[in-house]
Amino acid sequence: MTNPNVVLHVADVHKRFGGLHALADIDLQVEEGKTHAIIGPNGAGKSTLLNVIIGKLAPSSGQVVFDGAVLTGRKPFQINQLGIARVFQTPEIFADLSVLHNVMIPALAKRDGMFKLNMLRALDSETGIRAEAEDMLEDVGMLARRDMLAGSLSRGDKRRMELAMCLIQHPRLLLLDEPTAGMSRHDTNTTIELLQKIKARGMTKVIIEHDMHVVFSLADKISVLAQGRIIADGSPDEVRGNPKVQEAYLGGTH
Amino acid sequence: MTNLMSRNDLLLFAGFTLVVLTMPIWLAPFGAGYPDLLQRFMIFGIFAVGFNILFGLTGYLSFGHAAFFGVGSYAAVWSFKLLTLDAIPAILFAVIISGLFALVIGYLCLRRSGIYFSILTLAFAQMSYNLAYSVLTPITNGETGLQLTLNDPRSLDAVLGQSVAGQPVPNLLGQPLSGYAGFYFCAGFLILAFFLAQRIAGSPFGMMLKAIKSNQTRMQFTGFNTRPYALSAFVISGMYAGLAGALLAVTDPLAGAERMQWTASGEVVLMTILGGVGTLIGPVIGAWLIKYFENILSALNDQILARFWSFLPDGAADTMVAITGKFVGDGWFLTLGLVFVIVVIFLPGGIMEGVRRIAGMFRRRSGSSPATRTQPAE
C-alpha cells in the first residue's frame, strides 16, 4: 500500500467458479472519504467482487485489506465490527419488527459488540439508543413511520431504512450494492439525494451500480469491470471518454 | 417498578398472577378444580412458556424438548434419593443438569437451521429416550421407572437426623407438598417463569432473538454473532423444561422414560402453536386447554356417552354413541388433531390471534384504527 490514504485494498484477487474465471487479477484501491463506484455490464463480476470484500465469498487467491486488517477469512459479523456496513441489492431488513427497532438493533451492535446476554434489562430503558435511532430516522425522513412494521414499507422506504440501519453504526466504509435497483424514477432520485447528503459527511463508500445517472451523480472515482477484469480506472470524466469502456458497454451484452 | 416494566407489561403480569392463584375457584364449575390436574396445568404451562422462548422468539423449532423435561425428572428423583426429600435442592439440581444437557445438544444442533435443526433435535431426543429406556438402566431403572424407596441413602437427611416412616414423599422444609400445597408451590414457579419470560421478551436480548427469527443474514451483516444468541435461548428453554420435569417429579416422584418420547416433544409444540407462537400468554393457554381436554375426554366412555345421547330415539342414540365414542377415551387424540387442524387453518396465529381479532372488532366499532401500529408483546 503505497498511498497512505488508501483504506480498502483489494490486492490481486482471483475468483474461480469451476472453469469460470469470475474475477481475474483485481487490484482496487479505495481512498478514505471517497465514493468509489464499480460499474460494468451484466455478468461482469460486480456482485462477486462485493461478496469477496464483505466475506460472503472466499477469493481463490489474493486478499482484501481494510485499514491494515486482512478481511479474507473473517466472518460477516467480524467484518462489520471492524466498521464496514452493507446495503443489499434487495433490502435486507427485519420485516417483522417496527422501523424504530430495525434501526435500534444496529446501534446496539455498535455499542455492545457481537454478543451480550442482557436479558434482564428492559429495552424501554435504552433511552439513549432510542433517541439516536429517532435522530437517524429524522435524517432519512422516516420518523413519522417509526412504529410501522418494516415489512409493510414501500421499496423506496425499505431502502431508506436500510441506509439508516447502516449509517447509525457510523461505519468507516459503506458498501452499496445497486442501491436503486428496481426503484421508480422518483424513489431513485430521493435515494440519490440521500446518498449525496451522506457524501457530505465524508464517509468512504463503494457503490456498485448499473444506472449511469446514479453513478455520475455520486462517484469521485470509477472502476469499470468487464468479464472479471478491471478495464479502466479513474475520475468520472476520464472513464466517460475512455474508448475501451464505450466498447465494453456498446459491444457487450448490455 | 415502572422503570423496569412498562404499564402494559405490569398489568399483564398482575392479571396473570391473579388468574393463576384463583384457579381452584374459577375452574371448579368446569370440573377441573382439583389439585392433581391444577398441578399439571402449572407444570405444562412452565414447559410451554420455556419452549416459546426458543420457538416463539428465535423461530428454531425443536422436536426434542421432552428430553430436557425427562432429564429434569430423573435429576430431581436422584436428588430425592441421594440427598434429601426437600424439593428445592432437587429443583436446583434438575435445572442445572438439564441446562448442561441443553448446552451440549444445542451446541451440536444449532450448527444447522430450519428443518435440519428440527430433525437433529428429534434424533437427539429419541437417542436420549432409548438411553433412558434400556442402555442407562442403572441410572434410569429402565422400563419400570425411577422411584423412591425406603432404603435410599438420602445423605443430607441422614446428617440432619431426619428419617421417614412409610413411603418417602418430597416435601418443602418438612411441609408436605400434596394437594393444594403442591398446586401453590407449582403456581409460584409458573408465575416466576412467566415473569422471567416477560423480562426476556422485553429486553434487548429478546429483541435480538426476534431479529434472528426475522432475518438471520441481516443480523450477521449488522455485526452480531447469532450462534451464541440462539444457543442461550436453547439453554434457557431447556432449563424451563428441566424445571417442569422436576416439578412433575415433586408432585409424583416417579420418573419414566416415556416422558422423553417424541410424542411428549410434539405435545409442547402443539400447545405453543394452539395458543399462539411468540405470544407470552398463548402457550400457557394452549397447555391448559390440551391438559384440560385430555383429562375430560380421555375419562369419557361409551356408558357416559349413552347417557348423554339418551334423549334421542334408540337407533339415533346408538349411532351418535358409536361416532362420538371414537373421539373420547383413548381416541381423544383424534379430537386434539381435529382441533389443531381447524386452528392452524383458520387461526394460524393460534387462540391469541382469535383474541386479537375480537379485540380489533370492538376497537373498530369504537372508531379508532390502530392497524399500522405494531403489536406489543401479549
What tens digit of pLDDT does each residue of B203-224 get? 999 999 999 999 999 999 999 9
Residue A105 touches partner B, C-beta closer than 8 Å:
yes
Asked if A105 and B211 come within 8 Å (Cβ–Cβ), the reply is yes
A147 and A177 together in one domain: no
Q: CA–CA separation, B25 vs B23, rounded Å? A: 5
Phi (first) and psi of residue A154, to 5 degrees: -75, 165
Q: What is the pLDDT of residue B246?
A: 96
Chain B residue closest to A126 (CA)?
Answer: B204
Chain B residue closest to A167 (CA)?
Answer: B222
pLDDT-based confidence at residue B376 (cuts at 50, 70, 90): very low
pLDDT-based confidence at residue A239 (cuts at 50, 70, 90): confident
Q: What is the pLDDT of residue B284?
A: 97
Residue A196 touches partner B, C-beta closer than 8 Å:
no
Is A211 inside a domain boundary?
yes
Tell me which residue in A86, A115, A149 faces B225 most closely, judged by beta carbons: A115
Strands A20-31 and A6-17: antiparallel
Nearest to B6 by CA among A118, A123, A149, A146: A123
Tell me which residue in A75, A112, A122 faces B4 most closely, judged by beta carbons: A122
Strands B146-147 and A20-31: unpaired
Residue A158 touches partner B, C-beta closer than 8 Å:
no
The answer to whether residue A131 scores a pLDDT higher than 80 is yes
Phi (first) and psi of residue A38, to 5 degrees: -115, 120
C-alpha angle with apex A184: A182 to A185, nearest 5 degrees? 125
Q: What is the pLDDT of residue B41?
A: 96
The answer to whether residue B2 scores a pLDDT higher than 50 is no
**A62-89 tens-digit pLDDT:** 999 999 899 988 999 999 999 999 999 8
Q: Name the average pLDDT for chain B.
A: 89
Q: What is the pLDDT of residue A150?
A: 96
Tell me which residue in A92, A96, A117 faces B205 most closely, judged by beta carbons: A117
Asked if A109 and B199 come within 8 Å (Cβ–Cβ), the reply is no
Q: What is the pLDDT of residue B210?
A: 96
The answer to whether residue A7 scores a pLDDT higher than 60 is yes
Tell me which residue in A94, A109, A123 faces B214 most closely, judged by beta carbons: A94
Q: What is the pLDDT of residue A120?
A: 86
Asked if A115 and B200 come within 8 Å (Cβ–Cβ), the reply is no
Q: What is the pLDDT of residue B4?
A: 60
- Taking CB atoms and an 8 Å cutoff, what residues of chain B touch A120? 199-200, 203
Strands B175-176 and B171-172: antiparallel
Asked if B232 and A117 come within 8 Å (Cβ–Cβ), the reply is yes
Q: What is the pLDDT of residue A250?
A: 60
- How many CB pairs (< 8 A) connect A and B? 118
Based on the structure, what is the number of domains in chain A? 2
Tell me which residue in B206, B228, B374 faces A115 most closely, judged by beta carbons: B228
The answer to whether residue B1 scores a pLDDT higher than 50 is no
Strand partners, A39: A224
Lowest average pLDDT, out of A75-84, B207-216, B229-238, B321-330, goes to B321-330
pLDDT-based confidence at residue A2 (cuts at 50, 70, 90): low
Q: What is the pLDDT of residue B374?
A: 44
Nearest to B232 by CA among B34, B54, B25: B54
Residue A139, exposed/middle/buried by CB under 10 A (0-12, 13-18, 19+)? middle
Residue B90, exposed/middle/buried by CB under 10 A (0-12, 13-18, 19+)? buried
C-alpha angle with apex B223: B221 to B229, nearest 5 degrees? 105
A121 and A24 together in one domain: no
Percent of chain A with pLDDT over 70: 97
A7 and A41 together in one domain: yes
The answer to whether residue B372 scores a pLDDT higher than 50 is no
A131 and A5 together in one domain: no
Distance from CA of B372 to the nearest CA of A (A): 6
- Taking CB atoms and an 8 Å cutoff, what residues of chain B touch A97? 207, 210-211, 214, 374
A7 and A72 together in one domain: yes
Domain C-terminal end among A137, A170, A203: A170
Q: What is the pLDDT of residue A44?
A: 85
Work out the average pLDDT over A34-44.
88
Q: Which residues contact B257 (CB under 8 A, 6 or more apart)?
A: B70, B129, B132, B133, B140, B142, B143, B145
- The more confidently predicted of residues B240 and A232 is B240
Distance from CA of A237 to the nearest CA of B (A): 34
A103 and A147 together in one domain: yes
Asked if B224 and A77 come within 8 Å (Cβ–Cβ), the reply is yes
Work out the average pLDDT over B2-12.
77
Which site among A75, A94, A103, A127 would you substitute to test the B interface, given the most B Cβ atoms closer than 10 Å to its Cβ?
A94
pLDDT-based confidence at residue B324 (cuts at 50, 70, 90): confident
The answer to whether residue A252 scores a pLDDT higher than 50 is no
Strands A173-177 and A204-208: parallel
Nearest to A193 by CA among A156, A165, A240, A145: A156
Asked if B203 and A120 come within 8 Å (Cβ–Cβ), the reply is yes
The answer to whether residue A182 scores a pLDDT higher than 80 is no
The answer to whether residue B245 scores a pLDDT higher than 50 is yes
Work out the average pLDDT over B47-59.
96
pLDDT-based confidence at residue B367 (cuts at 50, 70, 90): low
Q: What is the pLDDT of residue B62?
A: 95
Lowest average pLDDT, out of A12-26, A132-146, B141-155, goes to B141-155
Q: What is the pLDDT of residue B253?
A: 86
Tell me which residue in A120, A123, A152 faces B207 most closely, judged by beta carbons: A123
Count CB neighbours of A5 within 10 A. 12
Domain that holds residue A177: 1-83+171-254
The answer to whether residue B272 scores a pLDDT higher than 90 is yes
Distance from CA of B227 to the nearest CA of A (A): 9
Is A88 inside a domain boundary?
no
CATH code: domain of residue A201: 3.40.50.300
A65 and A97 together in one domain: no
Distance from CA of A62 to the nearest CA of B (A): 23
Tell me which residue in B5, B6, B205 faces A119 most closely, judged by beta carbons: B205
Work out the average pLDDT over B88-96.
96
Q: Name the average pLDDT for chain A.
A: 88
